[in-house]
């Protein structure tokens, strides 16, 4: 009997030891995997590093590319497009102007009443119209006839006291957010369609001419006074209320910048120099690239799998379209190599763009003690349940790395523009004010991104110059900005009762 008891005790002890060893092995394995996950994040942070010296190199490279793009067509990755906007709003504009904003599957019509310096934008009415899918791939006249018809209906609701005097035309600013070769302030030929449009007979045609023909068919007496893109509109919108505005930057789904250049500094400009002595340049800065950009294997993978490999590299590391997907790619690698979310890789994590930048922003801004928002997002979007606090903390760290790099590089781009036009330093004690107008959901809603951008720009400028440079939010450049450009380029400027 005694032998049996001893045998059982030995067997039990051996089983306990085996179980304990298994737990220890699992813990060692799991702590090894956790260490690997932490190491992967640290390595990613190093690859994304944006020390101030590197940012200065990026800004210098931006300055060099700007010069090259202004010297000749195709001389740079930056298109540096001449917009023919040489007469920005002064703030004195008065009257009623219309805007048409066509940039995707919807378009907007706007009616804007301006009251000059004292009253600013007095009244604003707008309507949004969905474009039927068949018109996005039909013929040019079908699309523009549809737009003209909807605009005419909108005009018909105009209050009687604003009806133009006999013989006077209504005037419109037309924001057309597709690639256009601009030929004057109010004309430009379509280079190609994007965003799901494919109307072959419109390519190579003057889009203002097509719209004007559609107006004439239905007897709508309206003149397109300005053809603009949303970034140029952002400059105009801000300049109306602040004469110190020298550039506009869009940081939203995509990104772009436009700025006011001295007409003498544009070697490729062939025409007469404008009376104002200045010209707004549309940089198309999303296509900027430089060996100084801190690119990672995740960025290279995203680029190679994109619809436009090798293009829009700057946009792919700073804009809202891509930031969330960079986070996803890092988390996927951690799941595959370090079992970050457990033994299996969550299938949803393999779906491109499933983590949108607004989701990333919500996780990054989670201030709860248990990071509840992060846990909920991982559960709702990726179907990952029961994440630990340490896992959630590491997810937030990845979001922070991606957002910080994007914000600091955006600041370096802005600093590059300031360098190009000599506004990066204070010369001879003169403290000329320079204001950058920013718009777009990324800048407006992603608070951590915005504050990082603003503090980095100050760091690059230094205390003295930072006092002379301001950043302000300018909303609805594509709508109100277009109407303002119609006003500042009106055929009735200087005429009594304008």
* The domain made up of 84-228 is a member of CATH 3.30.420.40: yes
> Nearest 5°: phi and psi at 416?
-60, -40
Please say if the pLDDT value at position 389 is more than 90: yes
pLDDT tens for residues 351-388? 999 999 999 999 999 999 999 999 999 999 999 999 99
pLDDT score recorded for residue 476: 84
Give 17's pLDDT tier (boundaries 50, 70, 90): very low
Q: Is the pLDDT of residue 483 over 60?
A: yes
What does the pLDDT average to over 132-147? 94
C-alpha span between 412 and 419 (Å, rounded): 10
The CATH architecture assigned to 48-80+243-473 reads 3-Layer(aba) Sandwich (3.40)
pLDDT of residue 20: 43
| Range with lowest mean pLDDT among 11-25, 262-276, 459-473 | 11-25
Q: Average pLDDT in the 26-44 region? A: 81
Start-to-end C-alpha separation, the chain:
115
pLDDT-based confidence at residue 271 (cuts at 50, 70, 90)? confident
Q: What is the DSSP string of 251-275?
A: ESSSEEEEEEEEGGG-TT--SPPPT
CB atoms within 10 A of CB 59: 25
Residues 436/414, Cβ–Cβ less than 8 Å: yes
Give CA–CA dist 113/98, Å, rounded.
9
SS3 301: helix
The predicted model scores a pTM of 0.89
* Tokens (6 digits) for 364: 């990054």
Q: What is the DSSP letter of 163?
A: P
Q: What are phi and psi of 395, to 5 degrees?
A: -60, -45
Q: What does the mean pLDDT of the chain come to?
A: 91
| 320 close to 253: Cβ distance less than 8 angstroms | yes
18 pLDDT higher than 50: no
Angstrom distance (rounded) from CA 362 to CA 490: 44
pLDDT tens for each residue of 168-181: 999 999 999 888 88
If pLDDT is split at 50, 70 and 90, which confidence band does 495 have? low
Q: Give me the residue spans of the domains in the chain.
A: 48-80+243-473, 84-228
| pLDDT at 324 (0 to 100) | 97
48-80+243-473 and 84-228 have identical folds: no
Catalytic residues: 108, 177, 230
How wide is the angle at C-alpha 309 spanned by C-alphas 307 and 312, nearest 5°? 95
- Widest CA span of the chain, in angstroms? 120
Residue 176 near residue 102 (C-beta atoms within 8 A)? yes
């Amino acid at each position: 009997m005694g032998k049996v008891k001893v045998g059982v005790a030995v067997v039990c002890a051996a089983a306990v030891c085996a179980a304990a060893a298994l737990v220890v092995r699992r813990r060692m394995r799991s702590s090894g995997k956790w260490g690997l996950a932490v190491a992967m994040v640290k390595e990613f942070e190093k690859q994304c590093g944006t020390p101030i010296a590197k940012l200065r190199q990026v800004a210098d490279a931006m300055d060099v590319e700007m010069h090259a793009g202004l010297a000749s067509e195709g001389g740079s990755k930056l298109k540096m497009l001449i917009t023919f906007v040489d007469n920005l709003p002064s703030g004195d504009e008065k009257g009623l102007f219309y805007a048409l904003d066509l940039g995707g599957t919807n378009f907007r019509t706007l009616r804007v009443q301006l009251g000059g310096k004292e009253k600013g934008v007095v009244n604003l009415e707008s309507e949004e119209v969905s474009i039927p899918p068949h018109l996005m791939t039909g013929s040019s006249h079908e699309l523009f006839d549809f737009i003209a018809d909807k605009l005419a209906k909108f005009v018909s609701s105009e209050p009687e006291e604003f009806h133009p005097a006999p013989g006077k035309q209504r005037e419109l600013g037309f924001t057309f957010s597709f690639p256009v070769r601009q030929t004057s302030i109010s004309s430009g030929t379509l280079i190609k369609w994007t965003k799901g449009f494919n109307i072959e007979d419109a390519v190579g045609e003057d889009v203002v001419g097509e719209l004007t023909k559609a107006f004439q068919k239905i007897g709508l007496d309206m003149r397109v006074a300005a053809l603009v893109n949303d970034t140029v509109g952002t400059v105009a919108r801000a300049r109306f209320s602040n004469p110190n505005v020298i550039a506009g930057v869009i940081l939203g789904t995509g990104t772009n910048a436009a700025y006011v250049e001295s007409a003498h500094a544009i070697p490729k400009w062939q025409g007469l120099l404008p009376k104002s002595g200045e010209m707004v340049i549309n940089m198309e800065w999303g296509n900027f690239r430089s060996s100084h950009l801190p690119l990672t294997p995740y960025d290279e993978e995203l680029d190679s799998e994109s619809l436009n490999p090798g293009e829009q590299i700057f946009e792919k590391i700073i804009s809202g379209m891509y930031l969330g997907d960079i986070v996803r790619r890092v988390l996927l690698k951690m799941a595959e190599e370090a079992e970050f979310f457990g033994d299996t890789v969550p299938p949803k994590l393999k779906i491109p763009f499933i983590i949108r930048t607004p989701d990333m922003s919500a996780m990054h801004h989670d201030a709860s003690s248990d990071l509840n928002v992060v846990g909920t997002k991982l559960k709702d979007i990726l179907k990952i349940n029961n994440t630990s606090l340490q896992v959630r903390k590491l997810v937030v760290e990845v979001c922070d790395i991606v957002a910080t790099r994007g914000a600091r590089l955006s600041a370096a781009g802005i600093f590059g523009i300031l360098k190009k036009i000599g506004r990066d330093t204070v010369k001879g004690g003169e403290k000329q004010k320079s204001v950058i107008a920013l718009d777009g959901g990324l800048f407006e809603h992603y608070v951590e991104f915005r504050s990082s951008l603003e503090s980095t720009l100050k760091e690059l400028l230094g205390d003295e110059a930072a006092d002379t440079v301001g950043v302000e939010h300018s909303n609805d450049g594509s709508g109100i900005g277009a109407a303002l450009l119609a006003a500042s380029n009106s055929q009735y400027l200087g005429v009594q009762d304008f």
